[in-house]
Structure 1
Amino acid sequence: MKHLLKDSYSWLRRKLDPRRSTGASSRVHNEVNSAQDDLISIIVPTYNVEKYLERCLNGIFNQTYRNLEIIVADDGSTDTTLDLAHRLARSDHRVKVLELHHAGNGSARNSAIAVANGRFLAFADADDSMPTDAYEKLWKTLRTTGSQFVVGCFAHVDTSNMWRPKFADDVHRSTHHSIQLGDCPSIMQNIFLWDKMFRRDFWDRCVAPIPARTLYEDQEAVMRAFFGAENFDVIPDTVYFWHSRPDQTSITQQKGDVTDLANRLEVALTVTKLASARASETVWQAWLTKLFQWDLSPYFKQIPKSSEEYWNALVTGIRRVVDFVGNQIWDTVQLHDRLLLSAICESNRHDAETIVIDREENGTDYHVSYDFGSYIGIPGYLLRLSDRPAASLLEIRKIDLDLVSQVDEIHWSRAGLLEITGFAFIRNFDTANFPQNLTFSLRDANSDQVIELSHRSIASPDIDQIAGDAWNCYARSGFSLAIDVSAIDRLDQEATPKPRWRLHVTVTCGDKCTEGLMRSRHPETAGGAIPLDDCIGTHRLVCQFSKDDGLFLERVRYAHIATAVDMYDQFFRLTVRHPTGNPPAGVLVGADEIAVTDSIQLTPNECIVTVRFPSVHLGTGRSESKSTLKLITSDGRTHLIAWAHSSQKLVEESPLHRPSRLSATGYGYLQLMRAGARGIVTSATLATDEDALIVRGETSVDDAESDPTFSLITSRRKLHASSTAVEQDGRFTARFELTEDKWQLGVAVVDSGAYVFQISGGEVPFTVIPDFAKELPLTTLRPRYRLTITRKQPNDALVVKIGAPLADYERSALGRRRIREIFQTATDETELSDSILFESFGGTAATDSVRALFDEYVRSGDQRTKYWVVRDYSVITPPGCVPIIYNSAAYVRALSGCSTLVNNNTFPHYFRKSPGQRYVQTWHGTPLKQIGFDTPLTQISNSYLDILTRESTYWDLLIAQSPVAADLLRQAFGYTGAIAARGLPRNDSFFGSHADSIRRDTRHSLGVYDDQQMVLYMPTWRDHAIDPYGRHDFVSTIDFEALRRAVGAQYAFFARGHHTTIESVRHDVLDVTDLTTYPDVSRLLLAADILISDYSSVMFDFAITGKPLIQYIPDFDDYVTTSRSLYETSMKSIVWPKAYSQSDLERLVLRSTGMRPFEMYSPERSPLFHRSNFEPTSRSVLERFSV
């Protein structure tokens, strides 16, 4: 046996010899390169793309597939694109440049194809890019399958994010080889040339030429390819990056242009005729659905803000397509689109606009009724349409039946049953009105075998929270399954090939029925590794999820099975059953197969292996590593090691809180998990009479010099434990305060969010133990917050959700709609209360001129009830007010019933002013960037446009800083009512008797020394800077580290983002103190010595103080071309210094120290200021309003 081990270890050493590995790697690399004998021609048309071409060509130059012919076809560019193309061509001999007269993309591509020599063709747009292995992946696929072309996936890229399109989850879920269009009609959603590769002979025979002198020319060409191909491939890999131009100048960003519309409709008709002639019935139906619900949807969204010319072109073009298709069109599009198409065909613009805006504001759900033997859809806007739609358009059709299903929990019972809970329903069919019948089965993906399942119906109000449907209740759609796997096991033993049992659900309501796989699972309770049950001899049934199959069961057979594990500090011991005749020789760890065996004891069918932890620290710092365990046998082969028992048993044998522990994959194979810090959470509870959370658990830190500390973390905030107690055995108790006096301005609840519990400075969240996990989620509603304790996959990490104290009915879309319905129907008869509603920035702060007017009301002795709107109780409100939560029932009642409204922004889209109400609009500053109706239409939603149109007629008084500013606001909002144009109330604090003490106290609370210069950076938001959640992202153009080095420690830097970025500012990104959530900006302006801003109106406020002010605009040219233009009047009124570079900024900051007040801010020098700006104005505003 020793000899056997010695030989095996010699083999291991040879296998792991780095010189051997390098040589092998080199040979493989050379083999791949030598196999690249197929020339691929890459076609790159160009037209005025000097900003982007180099990025695109560098992406092609750096491809791992080297045998390329790169043809740049310049379509008569009038900028420096052609010169740049020639310069880049000189750096790479594979580039050819064609100089063409301007004739469009299609013509340029055809000219390039005519001179191309490649066996394969691929395309790239000059303003895009691609992964370095894109063409190699596409080429390898075609070489392997012999198909005529291959379709890869693409990702959208903008200035701050990258994402794959929604349809990719379906179309590019997995690999499909040698298919035809009828096998996957949804692939027509990917109708672009640039993420595909074609065989040249197929292209010439079935696709060429590309239509010339039209936009969207690639769509007809790609559809010819789909129809003409005997076979093509679809791969899930992302092979192309589609960039959105910040300046909105690319062809695909011109949806509001009438020429673009005309071209798109012409292509739509051409391809529809092609599909009619060549498509099967299934493909034909899929094409029509795609055309009207996907392709033309961006154009329909332009209707409310389009010109008459655009509307008329849309009506004409849609009529042509609908007339060609005939009545079958109505079976291929869903209800909202049927009504919209009908309105367009009838040239009823009012109804088309109503439908588009309502969908944007309220979503696509609707109520269903049963009338005269038919199910009828009743959208919320139906009664607001000028023409009653034909009854046939409202009838529910097959395409309207949307199956919604989710698995919420999966676990094994003690009796060996697989228990699954979840819900399933047909969307828009209220389960309270229409009981829906659920049937479940397991269906083998490889045969026609079906196992019918029984289930138990359950009800849960939580389903409505998840569904997000404002019209229907689905609380009765829950189910519970208990699957006896023994019957499946018996079938599996006889089956060839191995069955894959997919969970299938059918939902029936009357004569309506839909079905599908259970593809979705709850991200918190079912999103991670699915637990294992005990093996049955040498195999087990595992439950898994995949993109293709959803939830499925599969039988896995094992050769090497660990029946026991013993964990120690430096090693662990495995007892492994193995087949006879090929005894084990040791254990390997990780992808590098590191030998870690200390000793091995053999019996004929079992071995006991002692395994030392690898000397290489697999977990760097406090992150976690995961390494597969393999058994090496005497023949030199390696084998995965399965775990014989349940997941729970493995947790008992290898505790979760150990830095090194064993876990099992979803298929039951062992892996070594290592981390510098790890722990478990055994409980998390609210303190009985205090606003504090107590977390208990166990931890093990292998590299700590002192006791660990703990944090609750979101992307925006990090809450440190107020106290921590750690016992010698690793048990800990951590206390977190849920209220704080963050700014020394009053105690408030901590910021809302989903906080993950983890060790401070660590990356590994602590795992909730299974017994505690079974109790989750736990929700507590307290007067000032709602707290939910839950867990997060994939690690079962503890998550603490803190939010506004809304009741369940106020949190669901259904409940909120019912509340609004009461409000809207009662408006005409509402009896107003003698009270005032104050709202600032949508409830995110109690600040701005709204706060100044509130303070003046209080000073004047006004006795009316004063409501202040807050998003949650993290917002500090002034004494004397009654806080109410935004969108709560109390808010809706106050919004309709208060006699006076004061706001600095717009109210929600559902607001309608009650008779007798008076409304003061303070706005929030003097505009520099274009706002309101002056905003480029591409930057404004239909809903906001509708709100502005309506709300400006509600205002009884608008406040402006000066007569010039008043003119700008009138223009921006189309406002014709009264204006108070003698200053902004929010600046009153600059002139009050307490200004000096406010400045001193604020600086002290922020840690600014008396001899320091406080520099405040307040940039505005950027239209195109959007975070992954669709929120405006904070954008900083300052290198603060370099600025600190340049100016020295006597400067203290702070940053405050625009109120629209309050949800996206991240604590781990800013390298200065973030003051975005600071309650009162006026206090900051008093405290600051220098203000740096860009296009924000705050500059016109700070200028009044006479302190140094710098406009830092390094992105000026891009901003005015890619975001929005600036008001010329405002820009000309800026008389303070401008910095266009970092070095300019550093120089101006240094020069600002000790400067005398800026006399140039006087009204004589700048028309945007008025003499009254330099004195308090709140009282005069209220006097004006009371008249």
Structure 2
Amino acid sequence: MTVVGRIGRIIRASGSRLARCIRPTEPLVSVVVPVYNVEAYLASTIDSVLDQRLVDFELILVDDGSTDRSRRIALRKALGDPRVRRISQRNAGPGPARELGIRIARGKYLAFLDSDDLLPPDALGALVDSAEKTGSEIAVGAFRRFDGARVWVPEWVGELHGGPTLRTTLDATPKLLRNNYPCGKLFRRDFWSAQRLGFLDGVIYEDQPLIALMFARASSIDVLDTITYDYRARQDRSSISQRPEELRDLRDRVAAWRRSLDSLRREGVGEAVLAAWYWTLYATHFHWYLDNDAIDDDEYWSILRAALLTVEEHEPDDARAEVAAERRAALSLLASGRQEELLQFRASGAYRCPSDYFVGADASGVEYGFVVDVPLTERTTAPPAARVQHLVERGEFDNEASATELRLSGFARIRGVPDTVGVSVRIELIGRRTGAAATVFEQPAEGGRFDFTVGLGPLADDTYEFSATVEVNHLRSQVSLGHPAEWLAADGMVAHGADRQYRLERDPNPHVPLRLTVVGLMPPERRVRRPPGTEPRDPQR
């Protein structure tokens, strides 16, 4: 090992302040950030990288011809921390900017960050720890979104990132294609370079076909349940990817769909992978445009309809099995060219509140009677598409001194089924490490409401999650366990039993259950109200 290599190893092992004072010649991670006119966000974005628990990285800021104060902010940060490298180019778009950053990167791993988003403090550490342990070529973390008013986690994130899945492949975990963004991930740089692929120039969604192919070619992928990315939804909608009503956005999105599908088919992926990509299109992407006021425009409508008819030509069997009824109905109206009825369907509120048109539910699915005439299959949410909405509204220790009883209240119901319909709810307490499960509540509940107390005395040292199963007329659906919660519930209380410490945790996502963590063996006299380092973090800083 070279002297430089030994120094780098010492820096990584120590995690000391020395790493903040020396520009690494062989950094562990190269973080590439394309920068263009983001003066309102850039400083906090850079700070979120500099505040990482893992300190052995280089941050490459590629100024893409900014005309605001972004250039000055980037320069100031580079002067203040030797790990920050700033380079510039004439305005060419995010794709060429990322490519320039990749060419000068020196890290073992590549990571990407958009210049208005944030990295949670443990993001790089969690991704690197996993990749170093498993040797995987890609590590994929969960992400959440935030704006000026709230923080939330998309429902599919809880499904895909419900638990760590290490050394997997796209064939084994095809729904990875839903997380088709370059950010929130770690790529081994030698693997990336060997693919001889790159970000495209001149289009908005230049990254999606590329990431799909990277997934398809990787022999080992780690899917983490840790949130590694905070994605900003700009309230002024100034981001180029937050304007689906524009024709350019629609055209670029359609082009990305076609490139992705063509690339996957040329790659020879299996039917399960293709079906997962169609699920992404049919359950999500198409509806950013269908449920949009611009759908009233004839040209907009024609472009979107032509795109649907094209992708339908290669649609795998059961590609719509996990698509909810209101979305299947909208796709049916688009395919048959019934624009006026689609507008009527939107105006009826069926997109947002399908439960208003609930007809019934049984083992075959949830049926609706929409205001437009579509086939029964297109107005029924089949069992594979049924999802539980699950929210623990309150969690508290009934006996704070001993923490022997935990009381939980909230609801669990099948999405799209009205609260007035009687359901049966079952809650299980599941050990994350041991996999042991205990049913702690099972009974009919009006509107899915539950309120129960469970004793904690006999629990082993483990992290416990609450799973909900809901049944209505023999139709069953189970909530995803979700990813590890990062925010403490209630007042962040930590209580102790005779020999254990318990902590309630919850995520701001209604679909991710509250979690009870048995922190570990600890004498009862060492009681604390909030352990150091567990204060809830404001994603906006």
2: CA distance, partners of 1:417 / 1:193: 44
> Which residue does the alignment assign to 1:226?
215
Give 2:528's aligned amino acid: Q
State the Cα distance separating 1:333 from its structure 2 match.
1.2
2: CA distance, partners of 1:553 / 1:172: 18
2: CA distance, partners of 1:440 / 1:207: 49
Change (3 A) 1:55 1:543: closer
> Which residue does the alignment assign to 1:509?
472
> Which residue does the alignment assign to 1:1127?
none
Give 1:218's aligned amino acid: D
Q: Is the 8 A contact 1:154 1:164 kept in 2?
A: no
Change (3 A) 1:424 1:117: closer
**Match for residue 528 of structure 2 among 654, 668, 671:** 671
Match of 2:180, SS state, is: coil
**Match for residue 208 of structure 1 among 172, 179, 197:** 197
2: CA distance, partners of 1:448 / 1:135: 26
State the Cα distance separating 1:295 from its structure 2 match.
2.6
> Which residue does the alignment assign to 1:30?
18
2: CA distance, partners of 1:483 / 1:52: 48
Match of 2:477, SS state, is: strand
1:426 has 2:414 as partner: yes
Q: How does 1:510-589 map to 2 (within 5 A)?
A: 510-516=473-479, 527=490, 535=498, 539=499, 544=504, 550=513
1: CA distance, partners of 2:49 / 2:410: 50
2: CA distance, partners of 1:671 / 1:317: 58
2: CA distance, partners of 1:178 / 1:149: 9
> Which residue does the alignment assign to 1:970?
none
Give 2:475's aligned amino acid: K
Q: Is the 8 A contact 2:414 2:470 kept in 1?
A: yes
Give 2:380's aligned amino acid: E
Q: How does 1:1066-1145 map to 2 (within 5 A)?
A: none
1:378 has 2:368 as partner: yes
Post-superposition CA distance 1:40-78 (Å, at most 9, x none): 54545466x48679759965996775763736374xx59
Q: How does 1:678-1077 map to 2 (within 5 A)?
A: none
Change (3 A) 1:83 1:231: closer
Q: Is the 8 A contact 2:61 2:74 kept in 1?
A: no
Change (3 A) 1:97 1:243: farther
Change (3 A) 1:332 1:118: same
> Which residue does the alignment assign to 2:380?
395
**Match for residue 299 of structure 1 among 249, 270, 289:** 289
1: CA distance, partners of 2:253 / 2:518: 51
Change (3 A) 1:268 1:31: closer
2: CA distance, partners of 1:151 / 1:104: 25
Change (3 A) 1:376 1:132: closer
State the Cα distance separating 1:218 from its structure 2 match.
1.0
> Which residue does the alignment assign to 1:263?
252
**Match for residue 324 of structure 2 among 326, 329, 334:** 334
> Which residue does the alignment assign to 2:3?
none
Once the two structures are overlaid, the 10-residue window that deviates more, 128-137 or 37-46, is 128-137
Match of 2:207, SS state, is: helix
1:121 has 2:3 as partner: no
1: CA distance, partners of 2:23 / 2:95: 33
Q: Is the 8 A contact 1:256 1:306 kept in 2?
A: no
Q: Is the 8 A contact 1:147 1:178 kept in 2?
A: yes
Change (3 A) 1:267 1:30: same
State the Cα distance separating 1:325 from its structure 2 match.
1.3
TM-score, normalising length from structure 2?
0.70
Change (3 A) 1:59 1:134: farther
Change (3 A) 1:311 1:541: same
State the Cα distance separating 1:398 from its structure 2 match.
1.6
> Which residue does the alignment assign to 1:1083?
none
Post-superposition CA distance 1:881-900 (Å, at most 9, x none): xxxxxxxxxxxxxxxxxxxx
State the Cα distance separating 1:345 from its structure 2 match.
0.7
Q: Is the 8 A contact 2:430 2:467 kept in 1?
A: yes
State the Cα distance separating 1:297 from its structure 2 match.
2.5
Q: Is the 8 A contact 1:185 1:282 kept in 2?
A: yes
Q: How does 1:5-24 map to 2 (within 5 A)?
A: none
Q: Is the 8 A contact 1:59 1:131 kept in 2?
A: no
Once the two structures are overlaid, the 10-residue window that deviates more, 258-267 or 301-310, is 301-310
Q: Is the 8 A contact 2:387 2:479 kept in 1?
A: no
State the Cα distance separating 1:308 from its structure 2 match.
1.4
**Match for residue 312 of structure 2 among 303, 322, 327:** 322
Q: Is the 8 A contact 2:329 2:378 kept in 1?
A: yes
State the Cα distance separating 1:84 from its structure 2 match.
7.2
Identity of aligned residues (%): 17
Give 2:26's aligned amino acid: D
State the Cα distance separating 1:154 from its structure 2 match.
6.0
Change (3 A) 1:445 1:316: same
- Structure 1's unaligned 5+ residue stretches are 1-25, 460-473, 493-497, 521-525, 559-639, 644-668, 674-793, 795-1027, 1029-1187
> Which residue does the alignment assign to 2:5?
none
2: CA distance, partners of 1:549 / 1:123: 26
> Which residue does the alignment assign to 1:642?
524
Give 2:414's aligned amino acid: I
2: CA distance, partners of 1:457 / 1:546: 25
Change (3 A) 1:192 1:68: same
State the Cα distance separating 1:419 from its structure 2 match.
6.6
Post-superposition CA distance 1:823-860 (Å, at most 9, x none): xxxxxxxxxxxxxxxxxxxxxxxxxxxxxxxxxxxxxx
Post-superposition CA distance 1:1098-1130 (Å, at most 9, x none): xxxxxxxxxxxxxxxxxxxxxxxxxxxxxxxxx
Larger Rg: 1
Give 1:365's aligned amino acid: S
Change (3 A) 1:642 1:285: farther
Change (3 A) 1:359 1:273: farther
Change (3 A) 1:342 1:28: same
1:287 has 2:288 as partner: no
1: CA distance, partners of 2:69 / 2:51: 22
Match of 1:293, SS state, is: helix
Post-superposition CA distance 1:260-306 (Å, at most 9, x none): 21220121133234456666666555433332333333222334564
Match of 1:506, SS state, is: strand
2: CA distance, partners of 1:205 / 1:330: 35
Q: Is the 8 A contact 1:153 1:240 kept in 2?
A: no
Change (3 A) 1:221 1:85: farther
Change (3 A) 1:114 1:314: same
Change (3 A) 1:406 1:269: same
Considering Cα pairs closer than 8 Å and 6+ residues apart, tell me whether 1 or 2 has the greater RCO.
2
> Which residue does the alignment assign to 2:10?
none
Change (3 A) 1:154 1:418: closer
Q: Is the 8 A contact 1:441 1:452 kept in 2?
A: yes
Change (3 A) 1:33 1:398: farther
Give 2:258's aligned amino acid: L
2: CA distance, partners of 1:140 / 1:299: 37
Give 1:307's aligned amino acid: D
Change (3 A) 1:420 1:281: farther
> Which residue does the alignment assign to 2:343?
353
Give 2:221's aligned amino acid: N
Q: Is the 8 A contact 1:519 1:551 kept in 2?
A: no
Q: Is the 8 A contact 1:406 1:519 kept in 2?
A: no
State the Cα distance separating 1:457 from its structure 2 match.
4.2
2: CA distance, partners of 1:557 / 1:134: 21
Give 1:426's aligned amino acid: I
> Which residue does the alignment assign to 1:343?
333
2: CA distance, partners of 1:151 / 1:252: 21
**Match for residue 187 of structure 2 among 198, 218, 231:** 198
